[in-house]
Structure 1
Amino acid sequence: MTEAEPRGPSRRLLATGLRSLTVRNFRLFAAGQIASATGTWMMVVAQDWLVLDLTGDSGTALATVTALQFTPMLLLTLYGGRLADRHDKRALLTGANVVSGVPALLLGLLVTGDAARLWHVYVFALALGVVNAVEVPARLSFIAELVGPDLVPNASALSGAYFNIARVIGPSLAGLLIEAAGTGTVMLLNAVSYAATVAGLRAIRPGQLHRPPRPAAGKARVTEGLAQLRSRPDLVATLALFAAVALFGLNLQLTLPLMARTVFHTDAAAFGLLTAALAAGSLLAAFTGTLRRGRPSARLVIGWACAFGALTAATGWAPDLPTALALLVPTGFASLYFVQAANHRVQLGSDPAHRGRVMALYTLILQGTTPLGALFVGAVTQYLGTRSALWAGGLISLAAALVAAAADRGDARAGHTPAGQNPAPTTTTGSRP
């Protein structure tokens, strides 16, 4: 046996996992997103640390900032999905990234000038939330236009991979830069990073995009997307479970800084390690997801919801920092694998003509429930302590997954869609995430 032979399957596996990168437009988009996402995760750490410094480690203030940033998702995301279905997604994304860079730059200048106040952070969070209500559904649905329907699962998983590469690099860099140069420098770097996304978007060739027919003016109504869901109980079931886990369990961006400051009493660098450990597990899940070729089953989604709930609860009971770091790696894996499986199940099951609005509802659940989750975290930590936000959220997520599993088995016994199988999308071709 030659040396090349054993490497053959590995090379084929790698080629399968990276096949979307053969598309030029997707490569440009991904390169810009890596830079921008790294800056965004640096900003998350800097913003949280700034709020804690300004308020004397107030969990309530941190929850308020999070609520302000994500409340616009509750109010405007469905409209953002309507815009994505009616207008040029590339133009929408370009404008959104330019607008996002302006408040980031202003806040960075205020912090470096030692003039930042808590209300400045509140205004910045609210402004960013408004822009994200348009940007996120456009970005999620734009992936299908970049690569075409057959490569959507792979491209979506690769997007998760580069996002989580940023989650590993960004917080680690932010922790070091905060110690060396302060939070203001980190925020200014984030403002600059938006330029990379704009450059990548402008370099995309519009003639190579896989665009669905655009509806006539005034025809892409939000209600049409909701009507699409009413006819798809498999999508409704997935979104219901996703909503429960997102509301109570996917609040780690809020609980980890509190754990770092109030439970383990660490500095900014150690907080960056906690976030990076979570992101490392998520990154592994993202690369694993690149091997997916078809629409995930209901059982797969439910199973990973169970795993995430159990691991999150265990992290809440971690006795020390090394144990928490060890538990956050599989927790990160389970969280992203569940989120991506739910994403792919919903996206691959929806009609391309309604995809922007359906993915807007997915986005509404993922990010629009964050203000409610922040209130949950704030209330629980105030009365039961910081750890309770993790173990309570994990146990509620686990309970929701068990209820979904029981309902899925009940549907199978009643002769509905068998567990683990999926009805074919009405007008979608190729495999769907």
Structure 2
Amino acid sequence: MKLLNDWLGFFKPLQVKNLQIFWSGQACALIGMWLQVTAMGILVYSISGGSATAVGLLAALNALPFFLGGMLLAGLGDRFDRRKLLIIVQSVQWLVAAVLFLLTFVDALQLWHLYAAGLVMGINQTVGFPTQQAFVGDLIPRKQLQEAVGMYSLVFNTCRAVGPALAGYIIAEWGAATAFGGNVLASLPLIGCLVSLKGRISEAAAPKKQRGSGRKVSGLKAVLSTRSLLFIMLSALIQNICGQSLYQIVPALMHGNPRNTGLILGAVGAGAMVSILLVMPFARKSDRVGAKLSSGTLWMGSALCVAGIVNVVEVQALCFFFAGLATSTLFVTSSSAVQLLAPPERKSAILGLFSIVTIGVQPLAAMGWGAVVDSLGVQATIIMAGGLEALFSIWMLSVPFWRNFRFTPDDCPEGA
């Protein structure tokens, strides 16, 4: 009975009406996003003549805004109404999808169009991702934040399981224009849901307007001066450089095959979804954050090594499924800890830095791994990436402070 209560307790945020509204729109938008991202990767690989480096370059252009202005742009969520900001972000996403659909439909799409779209999407995500995370915190009591982040990850990874697999089928049967058109339609419900949330968010949750010039520096200083935040960021950095960045060059790893691309990306999403449903409800009870994070990255790195050794797509899909099992636990644990440890007046800025070491580094690392694929081949690249992640995880577990680091929501100030 206790296990059942622990499991059911993890899903309490689903009872919050505001989150129901937000997540219903978010689910549609995320499926559409995966349709578009998968189609863009396959098209770049095809148009470039099968270059893994070209696929990595698309991912790198998507990441540039995170590095050039990550914390500054993310800090907009500390200065302006987050709901209105997210409406603007989603409207831009819709516009990009509409342009790609039209260009593909009239057979006028060129490689530079895809690169330009990737760059615009990167700017948009630099603002949108940390703002969404902070916005979820506005909609939920602080003590339920980890569960709320878990539910957000469940929505995200359910869509990651469905979206790429659906995209692979749609592109194989009806072409990339249909995938882009699907995103045009799927982007609209979230805008409507955000509009409907007007007046439903308390004034206490509204961000206070501040001067922005010093926040980028102060947000970085807050991380560098807080040992626990610094180690969480390092753990996330290695996970995303050596682990999750490989997800972005799956079209190249699968040699442009849309069905295999959808199978591998769908397996990652399925693993992450299973993790949320069956692992996180019980793993959240452990307050040993350091050991939990580094054990997760060790698990992911080991799974990727096996995927590199066994060159059978079905076995590789199973290995990526096991890697996906770690993905959600790592994201939920690190993201919720960062939000709770961050000073409230710098939350969006620090989440912006978290976005840099998670979403931001993935595409740049993907470009590097794409070049390695072109030089050494797929199998050697996967083994190298997984091996580095596993070795770094072992080193972090050898650090006594990190191995024994414990944290719960009650350990931070009420205002955080």
CA radius of gyration, larger in: 1
Q: Does 1:167 align with 2:160?
A: yes
Instruction: Tell me if structure 2 keeps the 8 A contact 1:296–1:345.
Output: no
User: Which deviates more from structure 2 when the two are superposed, residues 246-255 or residues 79-88?
Assistant: 246-255
User: Which deviates more from structure 2 when the two are superposed, residues 153-162 or residues 371-380?
Assistant: 371-380
Question: Structure 2 matches for 1:322-333, cutoff 5 A?
Answer: 322-333=314-325
Q: Deviations over 1:201-260 (max 9, x none)?
A: 111143434516614445772222123223310110121122122122221323322222
Percent pairwise identity: 23
In the TM superposition, residue 129 of structure 1 has moved relative to its aligned partner by 0.7
Distance 1:344 1:243 in 2: 16
Instruction: Tell me if structure 2 keeps the 8 A contact 1:155–1:290.
Output: no
| SS class of match (1:421) | coil
Given candidates 343, 355, 379, the residue that maps to 1:363 is 355
Aligned to 2:113: 120
Structure 2 residue identity aligned to 1:365: V
Instruction: Tell me if structure 2 keeps the 8 A contact 1:295–1:348.
Output: no
Distance 1:206 1:315 in 2: 49
Instruction: Tell me if structure 2 keeps the 8 A contact 1:165–1:283.
Output: yes
Aligned to 2:234: 240
Distance 2:92 2:409 in 1: 39
In the TM superposition, residue 136 of structure 1 has moved relative to its aligned partner by 0.8
Aligned to 1:345: 337
Aligned to 2:49: 56
Question: Structure 2 matches for 1:11-410, cutoff 5 A?
Answer: 12-13=5-6, 15-209=8-202, 211=205, 214-218=208-212, 221-261=215-255, 267-287=257-277, 288-290=279-281, 292=284, 297-407=289-399, 409=400
In the TM superposition, residue 379 of structure 1 has moved relative to its aligned partner by 2.5
Q: Does 1:421 align with 2:406?
A: yes
| SS class of match (1:214) | coil
In the TM superposition, residue 427 of structure 1 has moved relative to its aligned partner by 5.4
| SS class of match (2:205) | coil
Instruction: Tell me if structure 2 keeps the 8 A contact 1:43–1:187.
Output: yes
In the TM superposition, residue 58 of structure 1 has moved relative to its aligned partner by 1.1
In the TM superposition, residue 294 of structure 1 has moved relative to its aligned partner by 7.5
| SS class of match (2:404) | coil
In the TM superposition, residue 274 of structure 1 has moved relative to its aligned partner by 1.5
Q: Would the alpha carbon gap of residues 384 and 27 (structure 1) be closer, same or farther in structure 2, given more than 3 Å must change?
A: same
Q: How many pairs were matched up?
A: 413
| SS class of match (2:345) | helix
Q: Would the alpha carbon gap of residues 300 and 218 (structure 1) be closer, same or farther in structure 2, given more than 3 Å must change?
A: closer
Q: Would the alpha carbon gap of residues 135 and 295 (structure 1) be closer, same or farther in structure 2, given more than 3 Å must change?
A: farther
In the TM superposition, residue 11 of structure 1 has moved relative to its aligned partner by 6.0
Aligned to 1:5: none
| SS class of match (2:413) | coil
Aligned to 1:3: none
| SS class of match (2:255) | helix
Structure 2 residue identity aligned to 1:64: L
Q: Would the alpha carbon gap of residues 246 and 256 (structure 1) be closer, same or farther in structure 2, given more than 3 Å must change?
A: same
Structure 2 residue identity aligned to 1:428: P
In the TM superposition, residue 374 of structure 1 has moved relative to its aligned partner by 2.2
Q: Deviations over 1:351-402 (max 9, x none)?
A: 2222111111100111211243023212211221112221111111111111
| SS class of match (1:114) | coil
Distance 1:294 1:83 in 2: 34
In the TM superposition, residue 318 of structure 1 has moved relative to its aligned partner by 1.9
Instruction: Tell me if structure 2 keeps the 8 A contact 1:295–1:345.
Output: no
Instruction: Tell me if structure 1 keeps the 8 A contact 2:52–2:371.
Output: no
Q: Would the alpha carbon gap of residues 180 and 382 (structure 1) be closer, same or farther in structure 2, given more than 3 Å must change?
A: closer
**After the TM superposition, which parts of structure 1 deviate over 4 Å for at least 4 consecutive aligned residues?**
8-11, 217-220, 293-296, 423-427
In the TM superposition, residue 18 of structure 1 has moved relative to its aligned partner by 1.7
In the TM superposition, residue 423 of structure 1 has moved relative to its aligned partner by 8.8
| SS class of match (1:369) | helix
| SS class of match (1:319) | coil
Q: If the length of structure 2 is used for normalisation, what is the TM-score?
A: 0.93
Structure 2 unaligned residues grouped into runs of 5+: none
Instruction: Tell me if structure 2 keeps the 8 A contact 1:41–1:167.
Output: yes
Aligned to 1:415: none
Q: If the length of structure 1 is used for normalisation, what is the TM-score?
A: 0.89
| SS class of match (2:254) | helix
Instruction: Tell me if structure 2 keeps the 8 A contact 1:300–1:420.
Output: no
In the TM superposition, residue 295 of structure 1 has moved relative to its aligned partner by 5.6
Structure 1 unaligned residues grouped into runs of 5+: 1-7, 413-417
